[in-house]
Amino acid sequence: MPRHIKSAPGLPPDAQTGIRDSVEIMLARIRLGGAATVLDYAARLDGWSGPVIVTPEDIAAAAAQIPPPLKDALHYAHDNIRAFALAQRASLTEFETELRPGLVAGQKVIPVASAGCYVPGGRYAHIASALMTIATAKAAGVTHITACAPPRTGAIDPATLYAMHLAGADTILTLGGVQAIAAMAFGLFGTPEADILCGPGNAYVAEAKRQLYGPTGIDMVAGPTDIAILADATANPQRLALDLIGQAEHGPTSPCWLITDDARTAEATLHAIPRTLALLPEPNRAAACAAWEAMGEILLCETREEMAQTADRYAPEHLHVQAQDLPWWQDRLQNYGSLFLGAESTVAFGDKASGPNHVLPTSRAARHTSGLSVHKFLKTVTYQRVTQAALPDLAKATATISRAEGMTGHALTAEARLPQAPVPKVVNG
């Protein structure tokens, strides 16, 4: 087992039960009261009493405030995200195959009709999140995309609004929190009911998505963002410290782990952390410091195989390899949301502009699921077609299995398709 150079004491127990109850009450009230209740919550929780539906004039006014370098950066990121999503879409194909003479089966790929994309706006303006969710839904072929973002300084952050429009949102609502999720799910303010809800958010947003899941699809129930770095003796400790603290900047609940087989790298990185924290302005520094103190770990392993096993057990959202023999790591590692290979890569690239989606599984969910992609907005449905040539064997097999299960009705429906179908006997009693 790896040895801890620094352990994570963790955070005190949260108020998840209280969050669950509060969200349940809010959703029930909105379900009954509709848009009026949403507006009440918007006024009380976000201090927003202006128009909810963003107009073309609002978008134009926001665009006029964006400096050209930021516009260029957003277009660069959007082009990458869209291109990667379109390549993902092309990888999923439709087909039809004849399994046996007269028995044809196939697969169709159908985009959902409507999506609700949430763009958070708490401690930071999450501009890139607008591109990640909306552009991906657009590339999948979703017919109508409703996007919500909370007001930050009297309105949606201008750059965020510009990104939402650039990515292709059909309707943009100035709403945050549970009320935004509910408005998209229930189809309020003239929007269609969302077939799927996606996008990161705080604990209340995540809980609202969890409670609405079933009739409405969701991308995932996301927790705090995390990072794990796998490093050997060739890694630069100052860069490792910067990469860890860069993700810790998200806030005090964000785990950040360094896994290494080199004691000097472990100690040097630990010593570099205070200097790295000092590079951040407040309140970023306080958020990152709290995360490192409560959730940061440095683990020393004996071998690279033990490092890989540890990473697979942690199943991080972001997994960054800064070690030799990158092909070995790429082939060996299994549990992660997104993999960053080499010292020249960094999680920040993936968070903002490189192309693959940054909405990723957290809290060890990478053991069983993947991040947001066009596939989340697509239904892979099947169909079948049967001719007389397939009927004798197909009906016989179906009827035999059905009777073994005790499902006589199923057997009869199969046998009724035979050319010389037996006359069903009436069962008394």
Please identify every residue annotated as catalytic: 317-318
> Quick check: helix, strand or coil at residue 91?
helix
Give the residue carrying structure tokens 């959007």.
78
Residue 22 falls in which region: left (phi positive, over 0), alpha (psi -120 to 50) or beta: alpha
How many CB atoms are located within 10 Å of the residue 205 CB? 24
Ranges of beta strands (E only) in 112-219 are 114-118, 144-149, 171-174, 196-198, 217-218
* C-alpha span between 249 and 269 (Å, rounded): 17
Beta-strand relationship, 217-218 and 196-198: parallel
Residues 6+ apart with CB under 8 A from 297: 4, 6, 7, 8, 255, 256, 257, 258
Torsions phi, psi for 98 (to 5 deg)? -95, 105
* C-alpha span between 78 and 355 (Å, rounded): 8
* C-alpha span between 359 and 4 (Å, rounded): 29
184 within 8 A of 205, measured Cβ to Cβ: no
* C-alpha span between 29 and 38 (Å, rounded): 9
On the CB side of 225, CA atoms within 13 Å amount to 23
* C-alpha span between 372 and 322 (Å, rounded): 25
